[in-house]
Amino acid sequence: MLKSALILLATFAMYIASGQTMDLLDEESTPTVVYTFATFKTNRVVNGHSIETVAKREFDLKIAHRFGFLSGGPYDLFGLDRATMRMGGDYGITDNLNVGIGRSTEDKTYDGFVKYKFIKQSTGAKKMPITATWVSHMGITTSKFTQITRENEFSHRVHYTHQLLIARKFTEGLSVQLSPTLVHKNLVDSAGFSNDILALGIGLRQKLTTRTTLNLEYYYVLPDQLESDKTNALSVGFDIETGGHVFQLFFTNSSGPFEKAFITDTRAKWLDGDVRFGFNIARTFNF
């Protein structure tokens, strides 16, 4: 009974399929490689990079705002009185190789990065389950040294972050990214802690409509590497794409908008209500 039902179903499916093919055309031609696109709406998940790169000769201007804590209450208009920001941009040397620079209010930090997408998720003639991108950042803080009794050197201002970003677009709606990360600080905050800090970033995006997505980003710092008052950064946000712009609206407990800051300097805790509102505006220009 089941068998005959299956045969009937298969026959029906074949009938449907044949109705759709064009009888004059060779629809069954050699398969081509179909690269997955739009794993994320933009090249940031929330704070951290996504596997996406800007296309060749495109400049993606990024203005990132973070406000004060919601726990500041009505006196601080729930944090809106305390805005910090990063202005910067990503540029496509090729479709896969990007460079970027930025300047953040936090510690008056200048940052720059090189980003290279070296594996692309694809189906068809070539099957590749993931997209992988490497990004190396360098940051230089330029705020005045606070410990004037110490011998302060320029190298103390420098920090680096290296990330391997691995993402898969599982369905049209769901994309997941894992980001093993190494942060190197030339100067640690307190004695006895390593200059190298290992973390694992996890990014999730779920499409809500064709133009909006829900994003989640969590950076887990492996235990016993940071001062005990520090915590992991968790961010929840929405991407809204309007054609020329992508707006990212989010809530996060993280500090500054560059990697070393949000991965290794986050102290605020969601459970204490120390969560801030932030938004990124991305606008792409063509050259």
Partner 1 sequence: MVAFTNHSGGIFKTNTGNINVFSHTAIEDITADNHKVKTAFDGTSGKLQFSALIKDFEFPKALMQEHFNENYMESTKFPKSTFNGMIENIAAVNTGTDGTYTSNVTGKLTIKDVTKEVSAQGTFTVKNGVVNAKTTFVINPEDYNITIPKTVASKISKEIKITVDADYRHAH
- Of 113 and 247, nearer to partner 1 (C-beta) is 247
- Distance between CA atoms of 82 and 198, rounded to whole angstroms? 30
| In the complex, minimum distance from the CB of residue 250 to partner 1, in angstroms, rounded to a whole number | 21
Q: State the minimum distance, in angstroms, from the CB of residue 55 to partner 1.
A: 3
- The whole-angstrom separation of Cα 51 and Cα 60 is 15
Alpha-carbon span 163 to 247, nearest angstrom: 24
Q: Is 192 left (phi over 0), alpha (psi -120 to 50) or beta?
A: left
- Considering only 1, 4, 23, 147, the residue that binds partner 1 (CB under 8 A) is 23
Should residue 210 be labelled a site residue for partner 1 when binding is judged by CB under 8 A?
Answer: yes
| Residue 28 binding partner 1, by CB under 8 A | no
Of the pair 173, 180, the CB lying nearest partner 1 is at: 173
**Who's near 94: CB < 8 A, 6+ residues apart?**
56
Binding mask 183-202 for partner 1 (x = CB under 8 A): --------------------
Q: What share of the chain is helix, strand, coil (3-state, %, to 5)?
A: 15, 45, 40
* Residue selected from 211, 222, 227, 273 as contacting partner 1 according to rule CB under 8 A: 211
Q: Which stretch binds partner 1 (CB under 8 A): 126-134, 141-149, 183-191, 242-250?
A: 242-250
Q: Kindly indicate which of the ranges 51-59, 97-105, 138-146, 195-203 contains the residues binding partner 1, using the contact rule CB under 8 A.
A: 51-59
Per DSSP, the residues of 170-200 read -SSSEEEEEEEEEEEESS-SSTTS-SEEEEE
In the complex, minimum distance from the CB of residue 244 to partner 1, in angstroms, rounded to a whole number: 8
Return all residues near 253 (Cβ < 8 A) that are at least 6 apart.
231, 233, 234, 235, 266, 268, 269, 270, 274, 275, 276
Binding site for partner 1 (CB under 8 A): 22-27, 29, 34, 37-38, 55-56, 58, 95, 172, 210-211, 241-244, 284, 286
